[in-house]
């Protein structure tokens, strides 16, 4: 009986390590591809897709990726999703570069990498169960949604800054939660895990750009 339990635990641990390894590998590849499309979009000064097209592309490609997550086509969908978001970054990066704020982009990249490293390292070293963050994240999502909708009409700089801070906190919590979910066997699909982590990193980067750009303008 003990051998069966030990064998089961070993198989579970091996599966968890495989999901984690595949997630980080695919995340690295999609980040590189996203950086490539962002660079091309910036160099060729491609036009911004517009709010409606961006939302359709974002949610449409995300839905497609999740729908195909259990098949090899899910990998292609993940690259299409991250590549599209990379393209959307181009016009934003161009606006910073044209304003002479290339250093702000570098700082935002460094800050994003630091947040991801710290959150991931904390969960991986302590192996703490972060499932308790689920409820708080749901509440945070509602607050963010209300704040974003309100800012569409109010256009208040202070509210925009508050939204950026909330996005950083929410996305950091999402990294903690997703990493914990992987190592505790809650998430067994590395494609879904990759997309979740990528979106968190994307939101942190955009939010840091907004905060640092505002501080630089001041």
* Contacts of the segment 127-134: beta carbons below 8 A, 24+ positions apart: 127/183, 127/184, 128/180, 129/180, 129/184, 130/176, 130/177, 130/179, 130/180, 130/181, 131/177, 131/180, 131/181, 131/184, 131/186, 133/173, 133/176, 133/177, 134/177
Structure tokens at 55: 């939302």
Ordered by start, the domain boundaries in the chain are 19-217
Tens-of-pLDDT digits for all 218 residues of the chain?
Answer: 545 444 445 445 677 889 999 999 999 999 999 999 999 999 998 998 888 899 899 999 999 999 999 999 999 999 999 999 999 999 999 999 998 898 999 999 999 999 999 999 999 999 999 989 888 888 888 888 898 889 888 888 888 899 999 999 999 999 999 999 999 888 889 999 999 999 999 999 999 999 999 877 75
Between the alpha carbon of residue 36 and those of residues 39, 88, 107, 130, 189, the distances in Å are 5, 12, 19, 33, 25
């Amino acid at each position: 009986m003990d051998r069966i339990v030990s064998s089961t635990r070993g198989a579970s641990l091996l599966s968890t390590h495989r999901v984690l390894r595949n997630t980080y590998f695919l995340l690295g590849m999609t980040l590189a591809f996203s950086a490539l499309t962002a660079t091309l979009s910036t160099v060729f000064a491609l036009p911004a897709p517009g709010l409606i097209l961006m939302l359709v592309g974002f949610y449409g490609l995300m839905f497609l990726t999740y729908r195909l997550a259990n098949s090899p086509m899910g990998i292609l969908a993940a690259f299409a999703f991250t590549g599209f978001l990379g393209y959307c970054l181009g016009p934003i990066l161009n606006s910073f570069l044209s304003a002479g704020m290339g250093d702000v982009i570098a700082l935002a990249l460094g800050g994003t990498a630091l947040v991801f490293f710290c959150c991931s390292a904390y969960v991986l070293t302590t192996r703490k169960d972060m499932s308790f963050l689920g409820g708080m994240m749901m509440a945070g999502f509602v607050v963010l949604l209300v704040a974003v909708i309100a800012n569409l009409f109010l256009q208040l700089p202070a509210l925009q800054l508050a939204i950026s801070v909330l996005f950083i906190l929410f996305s950091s919590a999402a990294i903690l939660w997703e990493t914990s979910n992987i190592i505790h066997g809650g998430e067994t699909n590395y494609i879904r895990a990759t997309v979740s982590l990528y979106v968190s990193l994307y939101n942190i980067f955009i939010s840091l750009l907004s905060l640092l750009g505002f501080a630089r303008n001041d």
